[in-house]
Amino acid sequence: MQASIKRIILATDFSDISKNASNHALLLAKENNAELKALHVFDTSAWNIPPHYYLTPIEPGGFSGFVESLEEARQRGKNTLEELAKSFDQEVETIFTEGDPGHEIVRVAEELNADLIVLGTHGYSGWKRFTLGSVAELVIRHAPCAVLTIRPQEKQ
């Protein structure tokens, strides 16, 4: 029996590693004629230590500071997800949820009967992994489908 991939979930935190995972997800979706859904989980417990999309750009490569409210941060996350989907050369549905990222990725995959989850992994080990947790590891252990993790590219 041959496995088929018909529904792919791209879990993104908008980092450079996630951008690389996006490329893999797009390629797999095209090769398998699969439906692609881009998922971002807004983690309200960590919004005060935000990823780059919570910062206000003032010039290329520069930021003016943090957003002023949780609602502003939430809206920026939604806008960034929409912009990501528009950048793809195929139609991609977006899913914006809130909660613990690992658990939400698994929940959405179960709910949508996904065949594959694609996500980047920061590759933390030791103390960083202990203190920051590992979304990828939780997803791998609990996902109802196959999981493809994309590691950071080695610097040459």
- In this predicted structure, what is the pLDDT of residue 54? 54
Q: Is the pLDDT of residue 7 over 80?
A: yes
Assess whether pLDDT exceeds 80 at residue 6: yes
Dihedral of alpha carbons 58, 63, 67, 73, sign: positive
Q: Find the radius of gyration of the CA atoms of the chain.
A: 16
**pLDDT for the residue 83:** 94
Residue 68 CB coordination number (10 Å) = 9
Helix (H, G, I), strand (E, B) or coil at 95: strand
Which residue in the block uniquely carries the two structure tokens 């500071």? 65
Q: What is the pLDDT of residues 79-132, one digit of tens each?
A: 999 999 999 988 999 999 999 999 999 999 999 999 999 999 875 554 444 434
- Residue 154 pLDDT greater than 90, yes or no: no
Residue 36's nearest CA partner among 23, 48, 51, 26 is 26
CATH code, residues 7-150: 3.40.50.620
What ranges do the domains of the chain cover?
Answer: 7-150
Task: Give this prediction's pTM.
Answer: 0.81
Gap between the Cα atoms of 126 and 6, Å rounded: 36
Q: How far apart are CA 11 and CA 95, in angstroms?
A: 9
pLDDT tens per residue across span 18-55: 899 999 999 999 999 999 999 999 987 765 554 555 55
What pLDDT, on a 0 to 100 scale, did the predictor assign at position 15? 86
- Name the residue with tokens 């879990």: 11
Greater pLDDT, 9 or 126: 9
Q: What pLDDT sits at residue 58? A: 45
Q: In degrees, to the nearest 5, what angle opens at C-alpha 12 toward C-alphas 148 and 65? A: 150
